[in-house]
Every structure is written in C-alpha cells, then in structure tokens.
Amino acid sequence: MIKSIPPHGGKLIDRLAVGAEREALLQIARSLPAVTVGDRALSDIEMIATGGLSPLEGFMGREDFETVCEHMHLATGEAWTIPIVLPVSEEEADRVKIGGDLRLDGPDGTAHAVLHVTDKFRHNKRQHAIKVYKTEDQAHPGVAAVHESGDVLLSGPIRVMNLPAHADFVTYRLTPAQSRKAFVDKGWRRVVGFQTRNPIHRAHEYIIKCALEITDGLFLHPLMGATKSDDIPGDVRMRCYEVLIDGYFPRDRVMIGINPAAMRYAGPREAIFHALIRQNCGCTHFIVGRDHAGVGNYYGTYDAQLIFDEFEAGEILIEPLMFEHSFFCRKTGGMATSKTTNSSRDDRIFLSGTAVREMLTAGQYPPAEFTRPEIAQTLIEAMRVRDTGPTGAI
C-alpha cells in the first residue's frame, strides 16, 4: 500500500458544502449581507475549499496576519509565508458584525461562500508590503495589489456552495484529493511538482528531466489564477505544455494539473507557499529554480532557495530540489549549469524573456537551443491572433 505524504498540518481541509447541506446554505445565504469579491479572493476561496491551502479553513484573523507577516508562521505554529486575507472597504465591513455571517459573491452575482466573521481589523498595508514583498514600491505588482485592496480585513472560516466556474481544461482541474489518489493509482511514491506561470523552455525542460531521474513521476502544475496582464495567457500556456509533454516526455511519467491560485510575485516567500500547496496535492519533492516567483529586480537570484534554511527540520515535509540557472552549452553540446560545465560565458546561450517576446512578436523563431520549435510556433500563432484578431483583420 502506497502511503502519501501528509498534508501540511496533518489534515486535508474540505470546506465544500454538498447535497442537503449545500441547499440549506444557499437558502440561508439569500438573506445575508453580501460583498462582491475579485479574482484573487475567488482563487483563495477555491483553494481553501478544496484543501490546497491546508490547514487554513478560511481567511486569516489578526493574530495569524501578524505572525505570518513577522515570523512566517501561523499562530498555531505551522510554517506559512503568505497572508490569506479578505480586504473590504469600511462600508462593506460595516454591513456585518463580528459573530455574524456574510455572503461572498463573484462579479457575476454567483453566491460562492458564506463567511462566519470572527474578526475585522485595519489592514496594515505597509507591514503587508514590507514583510511579504520586501519593498514598498508600488511598481511591484504584489505591492500594488495590496494598496489597491480594501482598508479592512474580515476573517473567519468559510463554507463554499459554488466553486468558481471553469469551462477550460476541465480534465486537468484536479483537487488535492484527486491528485493524491491519481499518484497512488499510478504507483508513484516520489512525485516532483513543478510550478510555472510561463511556457516551458529548454532550461526548464532540463531541470524537470533531472528531477525525473530521481522520482517516479512529474506533476506539472501550472498556475492559472490571476497573473500580470503581460504574462502569457493561460490557454496559450496550456497548449504549450500539451505540445511539450506529447513530444518530449514519457507520457506515463507525467501528469498535468492546474493550480487555481493567484500569483503574488512574492519571490522567496512565495516559493515556500508554492511548495506547501504541492505538498497538499501529494507531491514529495518540489523544484525551486532561479528567481522563483520573482519579478523585476526585487529579489536575489537564489533567495527563493535560501529561505528554506530559515525553517526547522520537519516544519516543511516536501523536499525542495534546488537548481542553478541552466543554459545551452556550446562546448558540451547540451543543456548544463555552472555545476556541470567548465565552459566560458561566451559558450553559454541565455535569452531573456523580453528578448524572446520581441522575437516571437516579430514572427521569428528563437534559437532551438532556447525553446522547442513546436512551442515557438504555438506562441507565434497566439501572438498573431492577439495582434490581428481571430479573423486576421487588424
């Protein structure tokens, strides 16, 4: 019998109401005060409901917010690095009292969840930004999101009646319970998770295959929640993953899932957050590469790896696999890192994301040493549709 890695905190949380409980909750929710929440909160609601954010059962209260910001732990002692909070306006906060219930609606009016309000308190945005994102610069997308959010935080457990609707890539939308079962069914004891919000290029492919050499299977788990406006759209990225897996990986050793979490761009802290989500999904190992979850120049190249040393043994059960910046090495004729080749800088082919985007926009294929030609073709076609419309008319 294959034994799965325990979820973070020891129990996989399930806050999704079903059957008679769901029907009763929907009836009750009709008469409750309501607030409309945005994409990030909807992602958090889905992640809490299905156990992706175990051990959280709802939105953080004052004590958890403080201890996570200051000490990277929940008040109950578990390692945790990102505040999961529900910011609202003062007017919205006034609609409900502590001890009361509040309905959380999506932008389309769907009633998604009922929040039992256990606290409401001022959102210390400066503390949130400095501690989590290491900067107050509002050019940072995570900091900007904090400052654009409400001034009051509501906290408490949630019960979810309706998950956000997803019409795309339905077969890949696995809950943590479903991915755990799939790993057991496949006989995988050692499963490596890979986080991505971008199409996979040759450097990614290299470190993934290195990780596959020491594990039973790969859980390719792209983030499909809210991202920056200039990130590659989710549907395009998913087509790239399918092309890559079908063409260059053993199909029985790779599984694609979708992570519905919102991207925070919190660098080191988000690396821990992403690792814990994959532990909840059943992964035993997690790839941490160069500048994981970074943006701009806010974090050091390997800060996302060094942060794991700040936690005691046993606090984080999933094992990080640390990789250096990989590149195509002309001298050895293959992918490498500074650990595996003595080549000079001139023999190493690196391309920045900006340079690649410029080439793709111009309809030019990046070098084969950087990306597979099928991936480049998929991206070029997507950019052509974006720039001219589906009919080709400008």
- 342 and 206 within one domain: yes
Domain annotation covers residue 329: yes
How confident is the model at residue 92, as a pLDDT? 97
Is 326 exposed, middle or buried, given 0-12, 13-18 or 19+ CB atoms closer than 10 A? buried
Domain annotation covers residue 4: no
- 259 and 110 within one domain: no
pTM over 0.85: yes
Q: Look at residues 138, 160, 182 and tell me which one is the last residue of a structural domain.
A: 160
- 101 and 27 within one domain: yes
Residue-number span of the structural domain to which 74 is assigned:
19-160
Take residue 83 and report the two structure tokens written for it.
Answer: 């505040």
One-letter identity of residue 248:
Y
Q: What is the pLDDT along the chain (394 residues), one digit of tens a residue?
A: 678 999 999 999 999 999 999 999 999 999 999 999 999 999 999 999 999 999 999 999 999 999 999 999 999 999 999 999 999 999 999 999 999 999 999 999 999 999 999 999 999 999 999 999 999 999 999 999 999 999 999 999 999 999 999 988 999 999 999 999 999 999 999 999 999 888 888 889 999 999 999 999 999 999 987 677 667 788 888 898 999 999 999 999 999 999 999 999 999 999 999 999 999 999 999 999 989 999 999 999 999 999 999 999 999 999 999 999 999 999 999 999 999 999 999 999 986 666 777 787 788 888 888 889 899 888 888 877 665 544 333 2
15, 103, 197, 264: the catalytic one is 197
Rounded CA separation 302/298 (Å)? 12
Active-site annotation holds for 122: no
- 220 and 146 within one domain: no
- 237 and 210 within one domain: yes
Helix, strand, coil content of the chain in percent (nearest 5):
35, 15, 45
How confident is the model at residue 382, as a pLDDT? 82
Active-site annotation holds for 124: no
Q: Look at residues 110, 130, 160 and tell me which one is the last residue of a structural domain.
A: 160
What is the residue-wise DSSP string for 201-266? -HHHHHHHHHHHTTSSEEEE--B-S---TTSPPHHHHHHHHHHHHHHHS-GGGEEE--B-PPP---
Q: Are 86 and 262 in contact (CB under 8 A)?
A: no
How confident is the model at residue 379, as a pLDDT? 87
How confident is the model at residue 365, as a pLDDT? 85
22, 173, 198, 253: the catalytic one is 198
> Cis omega before residue 55 (within 30°)?
yes
Domain annotation covers residue 2: no
Q: Look at residues 160, 185, 220 and tell me which one is the last residue of a structural domain.
A: 160
Total number of domains constituting the chain: 2
- 29 and 150 within one domain: yes
How confident is the model at residue 354, as a pLDDT? 63
Angle at alpha carbon of residue 176, lines to 171 and 178, rounded to 5°: 50
Take residue 361 and report the two structure tokens written for it.
Answer: 């926009």
How confident is the model at residue 356, as a pLDDT? 74
Nearest alpha carbon to residue 201 among 99, 290, 300: 290
- 92 and 206 within one domain: no
One-letter identity of residue 29:
A
Rounded CA separation 102/29 (Å)? 8
| CATH number where 143 lies | 3.10.400.10
Rounded CA separation 53/44 (Å)? 8
| CATH number where 308 lies | 3.40.50.620
**Residues 6+ positions from 24 with CB-CB distance below 8 Å:** none
